[in-house]
């Protein structure tokens, strides 16, 4: 038997260019929500305080809360002083390993100014340089601060420096350091409804706990700085940690709207779940720090657009003025690309000296640096990494509860359904018909309708494939199985939900859709900022297709046959839509237990497309299978 391809020609058979639909939908929704939040009126000091509380609550919600901490000094293993500094450096460096949570070991360097007395301190949080605390530019910033009289604690973040979480037996990284590891581990956090940034903020707080307990440190004068990813962490932590007396976020602050213009994606630790939906933009984070001193350090040639930086600082300065501190928030720029450049480091040093009560620095020369080996703490033994912490959280016993209402809210909330779907039907190959309709006012869905024999039990057979109609052929095994299902008569529809098959987004990255650097990843991340997800939206599309196909016959049964990622969407839809009598699935991509408990969890099939934040809490393991009960049939 000859196999015939059933799918669409480009642009939905030449009728609609749907390849930009999802991008336009996500970007449009983002800009609308940003504009709506911009209409807030903040006109008094009381308004500022209320806004600060609202923003802090939204940040904590987006992080998934913060890990518990009793505020006492964390256990420390001191690893000895660093040698190789010149005699006139003006400071010394100690190597240490901090246990920031049980079994979690953070390698760090402590820069101490020479001399006696009590000093203010700064926590230095690294950007995404692989060497982390040993990166020459970061060393230079820390050295400048220490030379000026500040105690500086610089930590390796998860996934960088001496804290790589995915090494093979030979010590080689299986997952690249920095942004790659943060996203790889962060995908597991998202399933729990958490951001991996919760652990980064936690480690800032534990660093402050340690500094408060060290002799020679003034616990009331502790600042925070870092650039790039460290700038994000500085901005975020300052908003929620009141002990930070002054902050200098570098080469990060812009605005969500301006960042969209560049088409860049961000790693998982820089995605605040629901942040845009709940009114957290860069200006809101700065305003939540008021009236504490903050200087924003910006590179004029950055991919974090300087136009957004300037507007954000102006907006936040109005908040500072309402609290009587119009000059406490400042902006310093340098004609450079994305880096903690010497000009910005010098500005940060002057800022912290002024804000934390030290005289203006008298030496602005660029400090020398040391090889990474000189700063290494020699971490060894068993240590917990991000994936271990997430797996442990997933394994925590939870009282079982019916997730149906939660799922329904996740799937249906915020959908903009048109009054009429505007269905079009066109002739297709092998006696099929090609159709497309509005699932939301600005989004098309599509499908291939195959004729079916009429019997006494009219209904609908719906097919969801891993790659949608793009893989549909007359001899496709799932279509063959669905066609032989004689429990119901009537049509068979092969469905494309948003972003799948004929609706796949136009590539903007040059990467496979399965890559964490892809266009699809960026769309997912932007949806997460909107408190939405691809999985929830696609499950909605399934229910919407049923509405369209059963118009005038709402009581007819629906039988779904699904495979790959389509099985995930079908099961989510069936959990909230009683019209779906049963779901037959094969070769499923999403296995929550495997994803949440396996170190190298990404098997290259795109299970992360199915992320629905909180699903691993509300329907862990096979809870979704149990909810569907006999309606679910699993076949080879």
CB 527 within 8 A of CB 519: no
In tens, the pLDDT along 140-188 reads 999 999 999 999 999 999 999 999 999 999 999 999 999 999 999 999 9
pLDDT for residue 161: 96
Quick: pLDDT tens for 585-604.
Answer: 999 999 999 999 999 999 99
For residue 337, the model assigns a pLDDT of 98
**Res 527: pLDDT:** 99
**Rounded average pLDDT over 435-454:** 92
Flag whether pLDDT at 350 surpasses 70: yes
Would you put residue 564 in left (φ > 0), alpha (ψ -120 to 50) or beta? left
Q: Residue 480: is its pLDDT beyond 90? A: yes
Beta pairing partners, 449? 433, 493
Which pLDDT does position 242 carry in this prediction? 98
**Six-digit token pair at 219?**
């616990």
pLDDT digits (tens, 9 = 90+) for 55-113: 999 999 999 999 999 999 999 999 999 999 999 999 999 999 999 999 999 999 999 99
Residue corresponding to tokens 């991000």: 386
Whether the predicted pLDDT of 209 surpasses 60: yes
Q: In the prediction, which pLDDT does 119 show?
A: 98
With bands split at pLDDT 50, 70 and 90, how would you rate the model's confidence at 299?
very high
pLDDT (average), residues 267-290: 98
Average pLDDT of the chain, as a whole number: 96
- Kindly tell me the sign of the dihedral angle through the C-alpha atoms of 543, 545, 551, 556: negative
Spell out the alpha helix ranges (H) of 173-305. 179-191, 197-213, 229-240, 256-261, 282-288
Q: How far is CA 59 from CA 40, 190, 194, 284, 291, in A?
A: 18, 15, 11, 10, 19
pLDDT category, 239, cuts 50, 70, 90? Answer: very high
Phi, psi of 550 (to 5 degrees): -100, 15
Which two three-digit tokens encode residue 28?
């449009």
Q: Give CA–CA dist 575/560, Å, rounded.
A: 13
Angle at 409 between CA 405 and CA 412, to 5 degrees: 130
CB 200 within 8 A of CB 154: no
pLDDT at 300: 98
Q: Is the per-residue pLDDT at 410 higher than 90?
A: yes
* Percent of the residues in the chain that have a pLDDT greater than 90, as a whole number: 92
For 87, which DSSP code? T
Half-sphere exposure of 221 (CA within 13 A, CB side): 17
E strand segments, 411-459: 424-427, 433-440, 443-450
- Identify the pLDDT of residue 453: 65
For the segment 41-51, the average pLDDT, to the nearest whole number, is 97
Mapping DSSP onto H, E and C, the string for 14-79 reads HCCCHHHHHHHHHHHHHHHHHHHHHCCCCCCHHHHHHHHHHHHHHHHHHHCCCCCCCCCCCCEEEE
E strands present in 260-352:
294-299, 329-334
207 vs 171: which has the higher pLDDT: 207
Pairing label, strands 492-496, 443-450: antiparallel
> Is it the case that residue 456 has pLDDT exceeding 70?
no
- Tell me which of 86-90, 288-292, 406-410 is least confident: 86-90
Strand ranges (E), 327-432? 329-334, 424-427
Which segment of 101-105, 375-379, 626-630 scores lowest on mean pLDDT? 375-379
Q: Rounded to an integer, what is the distance from CA 165 to the centroid of its chain?
A: 19
For residue 18, what are the contacts with CB-CB under 8 A and spacing of at least 6?
11, 12, 436, 444, 446, 502, 503
Distance between CA atoms of residues 398 and 615, nearest Å: 13
Q: Which tokens go with 396?
A: 């925590």
| Secondary structure letter of residue 367 according to DSSP | P
Question: What's the pLDDT score for residue 488?
Answer: 77
Place of tokens 């149990």: 626
CB 616 within 8 A of CB 191: yes
What is the per-residue DSSP string for 139-196?
A: HHHHHHHHHTT-EEEEEPPTTSTT--S-B-TTS-BSS-TTHHHHHHHHHHHHHTT--T
- CATH 3.40.50.1820 residue ranges of the chain are 10-32+404-634, 51-395
d(CA 537, CA 21): 14
pLDDT for residue 132: 98
Query: What tokens were used for 104?
Result: 């979690």
CATH label, 10-32+404-634, candidates 3.40.50.2300, 1.10.260.40, 3.40.50.970, 3.40.50.1820: 3.40.50.1820
Rounded to an integer, the average pLDDT of 359-364 is: 92
8 A C-beta contact, residue 423 and residue 438: no
Question: Is the confidence at residue 1, as pLDDT, over 90?
Answer: no
The pLDDT, as a whole number, for residue 524 is: 98
- pLDDT tens sequence across 539-591: 999 999 999 999 988 889 999 999 999 999 999 999 999 999 999 999 999 99
Who has greater pLDDT, 454 or 105? 105
DSSP annotation of 489 reads: B
pTM value is 0.97
Q: Would you tell me how many other CB atoms lie within 10 Å of the CB of residue 431? A: 12
Query: b/e map of 52-61 (b: 16 or more CB within 10 Å)?
Result: bebbbebbeb
Contact between residue 461 and residue 454 where contact means Cβ atoms under 8 Å apart: no
- What pLDDT does 454 receive? 60
Residues linked to residue 153 through DSSP beta bridges, in sequence order:
110, 123
3.40.630.30, 3.30.70.270, 3.40.50.1820, 3.40.50.300: which CATH number matches 51-395? 3.40.50.1820
d(CA 195, CA 472): 37
Give the separation between CA 292 and CA 48, rounded to whole angstroms. Answer: 13
Which pair of structure tokens corresponds to residue 361? 């620095």
Residues of the chain above pLDDT 70, percent: 98
CB 65, CB 198: distance < 8 Å: yes
Mind giving me the DSSP string for 458-474? Answer: B-EEEEE-TTGGGG-BT
* pLDDT at 375 > cutoff 70: yes
> Does residue 283 carry a pLDDT above 80?
yes
Strand-pair partners of 559: 461, 582
């Amino acid at each position: 038997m000859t196999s015939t391809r059933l799918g669409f020609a480009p642009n939905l058979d030449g009728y609609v260019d749907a390849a930009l639909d999802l991008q336009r939908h996500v970007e449009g929704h983002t800009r609308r929500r940003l504009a709506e939040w911009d209409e807030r009126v903040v006109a008094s000091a009381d308004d500022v305080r209320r806004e600060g509380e609202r923003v802090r609550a939204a940040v904590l919600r987006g992080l998934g809360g913060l890990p518990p901490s009793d505020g006492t000094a964390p256990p420390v293993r001191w690893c000895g002083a660093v040698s190789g500094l010149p005699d006139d450096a003006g400071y010394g460096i100690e190597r240490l390993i901090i246990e920031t949570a049980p079994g979690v070991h953070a390698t760090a360097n402590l820069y101490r100014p020479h001399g006696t007395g009590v000093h203010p301190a700064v926590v230095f949080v690294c950007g995404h340089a692989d060497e982390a605390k040993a990166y020459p530019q970061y060393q230079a910033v820390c050295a400048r601060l220490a030379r000026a009289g500040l105690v500086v604690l610089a930590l390796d973040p998860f996934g960088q420096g001496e804290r790589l979480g995915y090494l093979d037996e030979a010590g080689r990284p299986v997952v690249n350091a920095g942004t790659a590891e943060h996203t790889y581990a962060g995908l597991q956090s998202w399933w729990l409804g958490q951001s991996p940034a919760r652990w980064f903020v936690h480690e800032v707080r534990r660093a402050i706990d340690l500094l408060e307990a060290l002799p020679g440190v003034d616990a009331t004068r502790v600042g925070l700085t870092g650039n790039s990813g460290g700038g994000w962490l500085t901005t975020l932590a300052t908003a929620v940690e009141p002990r930070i007396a002054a902050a200098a976020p570098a080469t990060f602050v812009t605005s969500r709207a301006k960042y969209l213009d560049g088409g860049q994606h961000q790693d998982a630790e820089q995605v605040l779940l629901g942040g845009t939906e709940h009114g957290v933009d860069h200006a809101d984070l700065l305003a939540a720090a008021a009236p504490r001193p903050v200087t924003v350090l910006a590179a004029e040639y950055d991919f974090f657009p300087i136009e957004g930086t300037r507007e954000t600082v102006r907006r936040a300065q109005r908040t500072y003025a309402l609290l009587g501190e119009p000059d406490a928030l400042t902006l310093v720029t340098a004609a450079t690309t994305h880096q903690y450049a010497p000009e910005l480091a010098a500005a940060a040093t002057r800022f912290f000296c002024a804000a934390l009560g030290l005289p203006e620095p008298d030496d602005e020369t660029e400090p020398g640096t040391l090889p990474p080996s000189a700063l290494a703490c020699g971490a060894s033994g068993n240590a917990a990494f991000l994936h271990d912490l997430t797996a442990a959280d997933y394994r925590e016993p939870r009282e079982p509860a019916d997730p149906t209402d939660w799922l329904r809210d996740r799937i249906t909330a915020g959908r903009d359904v048109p009054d009429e779907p505007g269905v079009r039907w066109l002739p297709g190959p092998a006696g099929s018909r090609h159709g497309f309709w509005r699932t939301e006012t600005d989004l098309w869905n599509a499908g291939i309708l195959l004729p079916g024999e009429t019997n006494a039990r009219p209904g609908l057979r719906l097919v969801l494939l891993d790659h949608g109609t793009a893989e549909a052929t007359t001899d496709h095994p799932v279509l063959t199985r669905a066609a032989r299902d004689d429990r119901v008569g009537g049509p068979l529809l092969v469905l494309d939900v948003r972003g799948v098959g004929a609706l796949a987004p136009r590539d903007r990255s040059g990467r496979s859709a399965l890559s964490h650097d892809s266009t699809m990843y960026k769309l997912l991340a932007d949806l997460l900022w909107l408190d939405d997800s691809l999985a929830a939206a696609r499950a909605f599309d399934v229910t919407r297709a049923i509405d369209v196909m059963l118009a005038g016959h709402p009581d007819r049964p629906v039988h779904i046959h699904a495979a790959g990622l389509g099985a995930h969407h079908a099961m989510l839809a069936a959990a909230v839509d009683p019209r779906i009598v049963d779901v037959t699935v094969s070769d499923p991509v999403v296995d929550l237990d495997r994803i949440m408990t396996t170190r190298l969890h990404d098997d290259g099939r795109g299970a992360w497309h199915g992320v629905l934040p909180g699903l691993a809490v509300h329907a862990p393991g096979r809870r979704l299978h149990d909810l569907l009960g006999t309606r679910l049939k699993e076949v080879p």
